[in-house]
Amino acid sequence: MPVDTRTRPSWQTAGLVAGGFVVVLWLLEVLDTASGHALDAYGVRPRSDEGLLGVVLAPMLHFGFEHLSSNTVPVLVLGFLTLASGVARGVAATAVIWVVAGLGVWLVGDTGSSHAGASSLIFGWIVYLAARGVVNRSWGQVLIGLAVLFVYGGVLWGVLPGQPGISWEGHFFGALGGGLAAWLVGVRPPRPIV
């Protein structure tokens, strides 16, 4: 029997991965609700040994369905756009954002609370998508970045402290991670020799 050597276009794989991630988020929230919100304790708890586990788990955990619902569409859209120009590169960028956001919150976050939610990824993806076109010197990616800023740029004010119950630290370090990811993961064309 012949083996099908065709591969899926990158945008299809990106859609499947982003959609699959959202399904996992919803399944975890169903499990969390069924357990009486026991998973909420596994967010980032700054400067505590147990809180380090949150660096890995926090972006997948939410404080209720309303919290998750507000993150679902941005995760689908921005996650897809991050992965669409290359799934491996998008996963690497997401990993940078994930780690920078988690460790940043662990180091400087409010010690009186648990920090969780995919918004750290969302803020990171916004900055990553906005910056990668400049880093890569790609007009197409610059246009995508401008569109992302037009639609989602207003939320970037969330990196500033002020709204109780919102982890501005997660937003801030997620955005910082997005800028770092654009620089680390970007495909830089060779510079001309002058």
Q: What is the CATH number of the domain that holds 84?
A: 1.20.1540.10
Q: Is residue 49 part of a domain?
A: yes
Q: Is residue 157 part of a domain?
A: yes
Q: Is residue 2 part of a domain?
A: no
Task: Give the mean model confidence (pLDDT) for residues 127-155.
Answer: 86
Number of domains in the chain: 1
pTM: 0.88
State which residues form the domain around 47.
Answer: 10-185
Instruction: Provide the token pair at 27.
Output: 């399944």
Q: Is residue 141 part of a domain?
A: yes
Q: Is residue 63 part of a domain?
A: yes
Q: Is residue 1 part of a domain?
A: no
Q: What is the per-residue DSSP string for 81-109? A: HHHHT-HHHHHHHHHHHHHHHHHHHHHHS
Percent of the chain with pLDDT over 90: 64
Q: What pLDDT, in 10s, does the model give residues 61-115?
A: 999 999 999 999 999 999 999 999 899 999 999 999 999 999 999 999 988 889 9
- 173 — alpha (psi -120 to 50), left (phi > 0) or beta? alpha
pLDDT band at residue 134 using 50, 70 and 90 as cut-offs: confident
Q: Is residue 190 part of a domain?
A: no
Q: How many CA atoms lie within 13 A of 156 on its CB side?
A: 16
Q: What is the per-residue DSSP string for 24-63? A: HHHHHHHHHHHTTSGGGGGSB-TT-TGGGHHHHHGGG--S
Q: Is residue 131 part of a domain?
A: yes
Question: What is the H or E stretch that residue 184 is in?
Answer: helix 168-185
